[in-house]
């Protein structure tokens, strides 16, 4: 039996071991893996989710449990004797090998900045790094003194922005310093970088491009006297808060409790260099297309490998290298191909979608760039095409990356449509089905992370993989970034396989089917429902969906008993969580109509609790900046004054906007205000798959913008016109006429039917526009159901709505009347009256607004 030693236990090294054991049926190789970290291999791509609450165990990759695999953790290789073919480890082991694979990955690049080794400076690379950062951030946030604690992130690339997001989640105010003139310079171009910066800064993250950090020093002015003598840090078990100053090349100085270096990576090629293996000009072990070094017994994969002199810092090329080496060690002839060196990326950072693929920066000679830049919508899209505009070479998407999965497989293939139309709003839809069956060859990659081709997926389907989990299991497609999953579903359908409509892995039925199960069986708790009709314990997909269904069916207060644990963050506190950790208070103002006394109450509440006030597009007044422990006191005053919850936090009816109608307007044809008030009071508290907005205009001049709403009503001389399926958002859509010149009673009956049919049959988080578009027959089918009663269910839909109207109770009044529910409204369980010390405000235009993240500590 031959001996294989794998130096490195990261994602790529782990993939190599998996591939070897999957293919080596004859057990020709015994494998020894040396890991520098004390943890088993984990998903480093999802590193930032550790700060979101995922545990190390959840990030750990599946164990390769095999007697032929031996894993040594915390014992890195320190020397390589190529003549004797022996690897020596830190603990003194000497391991002989027939083949050696270097999978040592990379190390963070820390610029040679004076002070970079001071306490409070970190890199962002491993779980241990994150543990140290989290501990330092916790000490800083817990320290006494006013104001929000600050941090500096050196580097504005992929990891830099992820680090900034993590620091913000930890309660710090991060600033990003990037030496290049734009963010993510390796992935996006100048135009995309400009849009990305605006979007990131709109999320209250301060960005400084085109400057560098020239030095880091201790801010001794902010240290207590004992710390100045060098003793306090040791006594406190870590760095005192606020002890660093980062000096920039433009003369600015930034205060920082934490400095994180995320300025790129360098191949971890020290072991190879010491053993005399040739390395690339910019580092990395030189390998050929088979990932083999000039030493025939030594291979290199992943970030440490320099393929034709170039290293690749993404996991997808590393996985492809691992597969090639496994094939070669088992007698094959695989080589790396250009398609397997795909550097495509798609991610969401700080709520911003970013994607790049192919030749994103147009380096191909003669390449043409087609750009659609919409700064108002905050989107940027670019396609790079060949000089004859017939072949797609690459592209960049910022703000809306929904077309990434469809566009990326087309790289190198003929364009199916005009490139402008493919990325312009309202242009041609380039869907997965069209791409897969428009001449795309079987060799085209569908999953670039794992180098899975269309042909491999089709083979798997024909071999019995008849759902997405089965395709993932046998091909690994969709198991990394997940962007190709929609393609998998479409390919299954096009290959004649019925695609599962399961809500999630815990319920094998769709949301609509689950609604019918709950309605027909009378089940009123999640635990009972999953025990009888599901598996496992549930997840963040099915729990809020079931909570919505139970609320729609009148199963008691949303914070009663077991239902409270099902709610998402907003419903958990009956308020919208804002970016600085406070909540918004939004009382219902039906139809936008409010008395002077009501205005006075809102003004007094906002004044007394120092809240920011704003009149919204939905014709009501939002109050921002309430701490969680203040919410009950605020709402007690509002409820006593006759106000009730506006459900701005829920997937429910939000508002029914109105003009002034015949009451005041000389053009008005019907009482739009009276109808809007009646409709909002009728449907208040109605839980649904997504939020619902409505409008009533008193004439065709459409001052209430009713046709942009989920349902809109426009007055006519003889009655009302009803429009349905309008949405704003990324893909605005006008509502369409479904009934005209109907009287008020008929109108209300039609809206009752429309809303209840939507609640019963729509998918989770599906807006009404998408619901109608996805419906077989579209608007015509909907009209047949709710106007012509083609299914014979209209009476049932109306009865369900009447039950909702009869059973409505204000959620906030229910909280105020229940001491047990009130107990959850605290920032700190062990100090229920203590405010959150990380929340601070400044005055702007006469109102309190959150301290802009990154601004504290800026000094010119």
Q: What percent of the chain has pLDDT over 70?
A: 89
Mean pLDDT of the chain: 86
Give the mean model confidence (pLDDT) for residues 415-436. Answer: 66
Topology adopted by domain 2-107+266-338: FAD/NAD(P)-binding domain (3.50.50)
The pLDDT assigned to 235 comes to 37
How far is residue 543's CA from residue 547's CA, in Å, rounded to a whole number?
Answer: 6
Of residues 239 and 313, more confidence is placed in 313
The runs of H, that is alpha helices, within 24-70 are: 49-52, 56-59
Structure tokens given for 826: 């605290």
How far is residue 306's CA from residue 314's CA, in Å, rounded to a whole number?
Answer: 13
Of residues 342 and 241, more confidence is placed in 342
How far is residue 696's CA from residue 711's CA, in Å, rounded to a whole number?
Answer: 9
- Look at residue 840 and tell me whether its pLDDT is greater than 80: no
Residues with Cβ < 8 Å from 54, sequence gap 6 or more? 46
- Look at residue 227 and tell me whether its pLDDT is greater than 60: no
Closest residue by Cα to residue 260 from 104, 74, 146, 126: 126
The pLDDT assigned to 236 comes to 41
CATH code of the domain made up of 346-494: 1.10.10.1100
How far is residue 624's CA from residue 25's CA, in Å, rounded to a whole number?
Answer: 63
Helices 485-494 and 454-462 meet at what angle, rounded to 10? 50
How far is residue 13's CA from residue 4's CA, in Å, rounded to a whole number?
Answer: 12
How far is residue 177's CA from residue 216's CA, in Å, rounded to a whole number?
Answer: 13
Of residues 340 and 243, more confidence is placed in 243
Q: What percent of the chain has pLDDT over 90?
A: 48
Which of the four pLDDT bands, split at 50, 70 and 90, describes residue 563? confident
- 3-state secondary structure at position 607: helix
Within a 13 Å sphere around the CA of 126, how many CA atoms are in the beta-carbon half? 16
Which of the four pLDDT bands, split at 50, 70 and 90, describes residue 541? confident
The pLDDT assigned to 693 comes to 95
The pLDDT assigned to 348 comes to 62
The pLDDT assigned to 854 comes to 38
Residues with Cβ < 8 Å from 78, sequence gap 6 or more? 88, 89, 90, 271
**pLDDT, tens digit (0-9, with 9 covering 90-100), for 713-737:** 999 999 999 999 998 765 678 899 9
Query: Pairing relation of β-strands 265-267 and 253-256?
Result: unpaired
The pLDDT assigned to 825 comes to 83
Give the mean model confidence (pLDDT) for residues 150-159. Answer: 91
Of residues 477 and 606, more confidence is placed in 606
Q: Do domains 2-107+266-338 and 121-263 have the same CATH topology?
A: yes
**pLDDT, tens digit (0-9, with 9 covering 90-100), for 20-61:** 998 998 999 999 999 999 999 999 888 888 887 788 998 899
Give the mean model confidence (pLDDT) for residues 813-823. Answer: 90
Give the mean model confidence (pLDDT) for residues 532-556. Answer: 84
The pLDDT assigned to 432 comes to 43
Residues with Cβ < 8 Å from 177, sequence gap 6 or more? 152, 153, 154, 155, 156, 208, 211, 212, 213, 246, 248, 254
CB 379 within 8 A of CB 400: yes
The pLDDT assigned to 345 comes to 75
Of residues 684 and 342, more confidence is placed in 684
CB 360 within 8 A of CB 384: yes
The pLDDT assigned to 779 comes to 92
738, with CB counted inside 10 A (0-12, 13-18, 19+), is: buried
**pLDDT, tens digit (0-9, with 9 covering 90-100), for 797-808:** 999 999 999 999
**pLDDT, tens digit (0-9, with 9 covering 90-100), for 659-689:** 988 888 888 899 999 999 999 999 999 999 9
- Look at residue 380 and tell me whether its pLDDT is greater than 70: yes
- Look at residue 230 and tell me whether its pLDDT is greater than 50: no
Structure tokens given for 858: 């800026």
**pLDDT, tens digit (0-9, with 9 covering 90-100), for 632-661:** 999 999 999 999 999 988 899 999 999 988
In the sheet where 621-626 sits, what is the strand order? 576-577, 583-585, 621-626, 612-615
Of residues 224 and 648, more confidence is placed in 648
Cβ-based neighbour number of residue 830 at 10 Å: 6
> Domain ranges in the chain?
2-107+266-338, 121-263, 346-494, 511-567, 648-809
The pLDDT assigned to 823 comes to 83
User: Class assignment of domain 648-809?
Assistant: alpha beta
Of residues 384 and 337, more confidence is placed in 384
Of all residues in the chain, what percent are helix, strand and coil, respectively (each to 5)? 35, 20, 45
Give the mean model confidence (pLDDT) for residues 223-237. Answer: 40
**pLDDT, tens digit (0-9, with 9 covering 90-100), for 738-785:** 999 999 999 999 999 999 999 999 988 888 998 998 888 889 999 999
- Look at residue 437 and tell me whether its pLDDT is greater than 60: no
The pLDDT assigned to 826 comes to 75
- 3-state secondary structure at position 444: coil
Residues with Cβ < 8 Å from 464, sequence gap 6 or more? 470
Q: Which residues make beta-bridge pairs with 583?
A: 577, 626
Topology adopted by domain 121-263: FAD/NAD(P)-binding domain (3.50.50)
The pLDDT assigned to 69 comes to 95
Helix (H) or strand (E) holding 218: strand 213-218
The pLDDT assigned to 471 comes to 86
- Look at residue 131 and tell me whether its pLDDT is greater than 80: yes
CB 297 within 8 A of CB 85: yes
The pLDDT assigned to 318 comes to 92
**pLDDT, tens digit (0-9, with 9 covering 90-100), for 396-424:** 999 888 788 778 878 888 887 788 888 88
179, with CB counted inside 10 A (0-12, 13-18, 19+), is: middle
Of 246-255, 306-315, 434-443, the range with the lowest mean pLDDT is 434-443
Residue ranges of E strands in 631-766: 653-658, 692-697, 711-715, 720-724, 736-742
How far is residue 514's CA from residue 796's CA, in Å, rounded to a whole number?
Answer: 18
The pLDDT assigned to 225 comes to 43
């Amino acid at each position: 039996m031959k001996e294989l030693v794998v130096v490195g236990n990261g994602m790529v090294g782990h993939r190599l071991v998996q591939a070897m054991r999957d293919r080596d049926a004859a057990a020709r190789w015994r494998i020894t893996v040396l890991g520098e970290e004390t943890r088993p291999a984990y998903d480093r791509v999802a590193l930032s989710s550790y700060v979101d609450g995922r545990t190390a165990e959840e990030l750990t990759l599946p164990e390769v449990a095999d007697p032929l695999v031996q894993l040594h953790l915390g014992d890195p290789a320190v020397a390589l004797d190529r003549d004797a073919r022996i690897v020596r480890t830190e603990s003194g082991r000497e391991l002989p090998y027939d083949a050696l694979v270097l999978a040592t990955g990379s190390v963070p690049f820390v610029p040679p900045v004076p002070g970079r080794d001071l306490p409070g400076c970190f890199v962002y690379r491993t779980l241990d790094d994150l543990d140290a950062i989290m501990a330092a951030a916790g000490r800083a946030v817990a320290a006494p003194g006013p104001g929000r604690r600050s941090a500096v992130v050196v580097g504005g690339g992929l990891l830099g922005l992820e680090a900034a997001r993590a620091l913000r989640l930890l309660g710090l105010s991060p600033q990003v310093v990037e030496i290049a003139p734009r963010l993510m310079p390796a992935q996006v171009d100048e135009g995309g970088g400009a849009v990305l910066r605006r979007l990131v800064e709109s999320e209250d993250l301060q960005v400084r491009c085109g400057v560098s950090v020239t030095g880091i020093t201790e801010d001794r002015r902010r240290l207590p006297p004992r710390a100045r003598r060098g003793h306090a840090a040791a006594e406190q078990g870590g760095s005192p808060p606020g002890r660093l100053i980062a000096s920039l090349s433009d003369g600015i100085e930034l205060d920082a409790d934490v400095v994180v270096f995320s300025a790129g990576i360098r191949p971890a090629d020290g072991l190879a260099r010491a053993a005399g293996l040739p390395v690339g000009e910019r580092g990395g072990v030189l390998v050929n297309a088979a990932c083999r070094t000039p030493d025939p017994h030594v291979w290199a994969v992943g970030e440490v490998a320099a393929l034709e002199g170039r290293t690749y810092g993404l996991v997808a090329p590393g996985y492809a290298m691992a597969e090639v080496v496994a094939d070669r060690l088992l007698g094959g002839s695989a080589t790396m191909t250009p398609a397997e060196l795909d550097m495509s990326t798609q991610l969401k950072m700080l709520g911003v979608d970013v994607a790049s693929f192919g030749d994103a920066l147009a380096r191909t000679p003669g390449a043409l760039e087609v750009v659609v830049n919409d700064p108002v919508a905050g989107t940027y899209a670019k396609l790079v095409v060949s000089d004859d505009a017939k072949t797609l070479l690459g592209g960049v998407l910022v703000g809306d990356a929904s077309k990434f999965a469809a566009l990326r497989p087309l790289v190198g293939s003929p364009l199916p449509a005009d490139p402008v139309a493919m990325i312009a709003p309202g242009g041609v839809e380039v869907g997965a089905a069209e791409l897969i069956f428009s001449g795309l060859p079987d060799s085209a990659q569908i999953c670039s992370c794992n180098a899975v081709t269309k042909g491999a997926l089709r083979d798997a389907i024909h071999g019995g993989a008849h759902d997405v989990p089965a395709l993932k299991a046998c091909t690994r497609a969709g198991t990394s970034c997940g962007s190709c999953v929609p393609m998998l579903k479409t390919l299954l359908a096009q290959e004649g396989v019925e695609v599962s409509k399961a809500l999630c892995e815990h319920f094998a039925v769709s949301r609509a089917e689950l609604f019918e199960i709950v309605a027909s069986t009378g089940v009123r708790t999640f635990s009972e429902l999953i025990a009888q009709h599901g598996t496992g314990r549930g997840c963040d997909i099915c729990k809020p969906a079931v909570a919505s269904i139970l609320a729609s069916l009148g199963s008691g207060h949303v914070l009663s008993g077991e239902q409270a644990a099902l709610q998402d963050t907003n419903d958990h506190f009956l308020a919208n969580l804002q970016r600085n950790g406070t909540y918004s208070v939004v009382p219902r103002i039906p139809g936008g109509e409010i008395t002077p006394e009501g205005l006075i109450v809102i003004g007094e509440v906002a004044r007394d609790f120092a809240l920011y006030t704003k009149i919204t597009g939905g014709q009501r007044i939002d109050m921002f900046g309430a701490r969680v422990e203040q919410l009950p006191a605020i709402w007690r005053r509002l409820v006593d004054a006759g106000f009730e919850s506006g459900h701005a936090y829920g997937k429910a009816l939000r508002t029914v906007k109105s003009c002034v109608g015949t009451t005041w307007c000389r053009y008005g044809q019907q009482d739009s205000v009276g109808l809007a008030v009646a409709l909002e009071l009728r449907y208040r508290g109605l839980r649904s798959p997504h939020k619902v907005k409505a409008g009533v205009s008193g004439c065709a001049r459409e001052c209430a913008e009713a046709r942009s709403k989920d349902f809109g009503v426009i007055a006519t001389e003889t009655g009302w016109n009803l429009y349905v399926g309008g949405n704003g958002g990324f893909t605005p859509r006008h509502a369409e006429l479904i009934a005209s010149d109907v009287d008020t009673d008929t109108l209300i009956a039609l809206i009752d039917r429309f809303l209840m049919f939507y609640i019963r049959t729509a998918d989770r988080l599906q807006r009404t526009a998408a619901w109608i578009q996805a419906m077989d027959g579209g608007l015509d089918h909907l009209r047949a159901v709710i106007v012509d009663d083609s299914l014979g269910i209209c009476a049932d839909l109306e009865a369900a709505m009447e039950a909702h109207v009869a059973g409505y109770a204000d959620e906030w009044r229910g909280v105020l009347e229940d001491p047990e529910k009130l107990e959850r409204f605290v920032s700190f369980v062990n100090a229920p009256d203590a405010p959150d010390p990380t929340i601070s405000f400044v005055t702007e235009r006469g109102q309190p607004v959150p301290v802009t993240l990154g601004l504290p500590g800026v000094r010119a």
